[in-house]
Structure 1
Amino acid sequence: MNAEADTIAALRRARAAAQRMALATTAEKNDFLRRLADTIRGSRAEIVRANATDLERARKSGRGGAFVERLTLDDERIEAMAAGVFQVAALDDPVGTAIEKWTRPNGLKIEKIRVPIGVIAMIYESRPNVTVDAAALTLKSGNAVVLRGGSEALSSNGFLAGLIARALGETGLNPDAATFIRDPDREVIQVMKHSRELIDLIIPRGGNALKDALQGSEVPLLPHFDGKCHTYVDRAADLTMAEEICINAKCSRPSVCNSMENLLVHREVAERFLPALASRLTAAGVEIRGDEATRKYVNSARTATDEDWDTEYLDLILSVKVVDSVDEAIEFIARHGSHLADAIVTNDAKTSERFEREVDSATVYVNASTRFTDGFEFGFGAETGISTNRLHARGPMGLNELTTYKYVLRGTGQVRA
């Protein structure tokens, strides 16, 4: 069989499993999730071994730095995966809940009820924890999921997908409700994006190569692509607070999409703020690239190019610009941002209100780090991605965002005049 035939066969299995999954009880879904979390915790050594195969392949191919950091699964991250699955099990099941209800003058009762989307395909790169996060959320919300990870994490993803299938089977659910596409060929994506009858939604997580591969998709997309996040330090900022926020936003985990890539600093506080911050950033291994005003206060800064302002580094590199006003900061973010997460540090209520209102991002922060843009931090247990779309979901995507709705109308014999 070729890649197209194999992929179509896998998608058909997922479609067949979706009907049973949509009707699964909350008890069945939670039983599956608890079994999965326990299985993950009991398989730490095997997960690390599978991941070591991927890490060795990555290093032999010359990969390093942030790429390897995203790819790595250690005890702490494995525990975080299991904890996230347990948290999803503890969340309310959205399926069958009424979003709203009302009664018409003729006595007809109308309910708007949450239902699963159907078959959701996850196409993702680098981070194998996405395999577990995506399965936990999509299956709890009554969907079937098709998992297609990148070739760089094939061993890790394959092993984790096996644990998911095993937990489904042990619960009496169809293991095909979580179908793993093992073939790393890019042709698989071309098949998936034209399989509108078999896939209801594609959630892609990756960079420009994946974005290009999905051009012309016949299946609706809810993408998680760029994460060019900004922090603006206003002239009315508490500079001690601002320093801690900036260090966290850039250094706590620079390889993820909610880390800060561009720092904007008001000119009135730049001389007091930038030298101390730069010292700490440099000590943490951050390379600073700045405009002319920044380099006046930070001798070690390299000259920032036009390309730097539009680059998602996912690494210990930070672009810094001095601005004259909040207006300039908002305009800069609109021109260079990706609408994922942007922050202001200020004690001026009017300035923060303007920033909240005018910055068009999925998550907007006042006096907090952009690193909180994460399903787990939002209380969702995990996330399938962070949508920068406006329809139908925006920001970290939890259980509710993986459902659609239908209307149920109950009458007593009403007919339309």
Structure 2
Amino acid sequence: MGMELREIEAAGWDAWFGQVMVAFGGVTDGVEEQRFYRSVNEPERSIAAFDGGHIVGTAGAFSFRMAVPGGAVVPVAGVTCVGVEPTHRRRGVLTAMMRRQLDDVRRRGEALSVLLASEPQIYPRFGYGVGCSTLRAEVDTARVGLRMPAGAERIRLVRADVHASLAECERLYAARFRGRPGMFERAPGWEYRPVLDEPSERGGASALFCVQAFDGEELAGYARYAVAPRWSPSGPDGAVYVRDVEALSPAAYAALWRYLFDMDLTSTLHARHLPVDDALLRLVTDQRRCRLQLRDGLFVRVVDVPKALAARTYQLPVRVVLEVSDPFCPWNEGRWLLSGDAQGATCKRTEEAAELALGAEELGAVYLGDTSLLSLAGAGRVAELRPGALAEASAAFGSAVAPFFSHGF
């Protein structure tokens, strides 16, 4: 191809990120977002594909730590900024960057790589599976009510400055994130990602607001949101756009949603990023008028099979031999004996007969507990080689709560 892959130097970030914007349609991020991403960029993990002196491809990664089933927090690569110049499509640029990147992830000792896909059909060929789904809701708050749990009446709500309240909100988040697989431990600097509020991207909505929930004197939750005032011939018809809601108790959680539902001059609430088992679904009086939409979320790639499978726990005791097919990361191929329960697990190579056969994409899809082995088998994507092995392993790989990811990257 006459192409060369190189890591960017910090001084080359502007050109590299400019090419990322070209690949994503040429609309440049706002000043605030560019400043943030430059501050958290890891130049040694940012790849540029050069054709002559021109950048024709980009791929980057962030060094994250992510909760996995059982509550352990493990290092993962957060893949980002992947794009190829339109003039260089179908010439192997993307494959070369993915090869370089996954080799680097393995060298760093990270057992997992994750990404958010702009085009989801691209990444399964590199072994990424949809390991976490996300839910969107558009609620008709004029017709949908909430069933309030006991204790909600004692919750005190206070509107707070988004940035002044950031530190205490982050302490609450840090106390909660291990409870859901897929959630990130926020490294220094990343606490600003959830409160990025570029004026050019508000779409007619207000600046970001924050409301905090107190149970006595203790912070029990918070919500961040924006309001878009609208008027129809019959009166006010505004919308509330919910960024995130975190709470330590059902009472605080419900009180925050009631606040968001009851916003003056509004009749619609948009929640664009919820766990698929979010408690909001059990609070609303009418799910039909919530216009729920399921979307793919976090894609997961198992880079080191024994390390990844031993890092999490399993809902039920399991002992199963997996036959893994992984041509893009051939070090993962072969038979692996997984033995584990709710206390821990081991995974090692074995000569025992295989009991289940699956590919890297399927392993990524089931890793966080979002997708079941049984459902993949129903689609012909997992093969049962020992009767009973499929049901046993599928139950063990599940998660008590649905996985979720905190924010984009």
> Which of the five TM-score ranges fits, normalised by the shorter chain?
under 0.3
TM-score (norm 1): 0.27
TM-score (norm 2): 0.28
Structure in which a larger fraction of residues adopt strand: 2
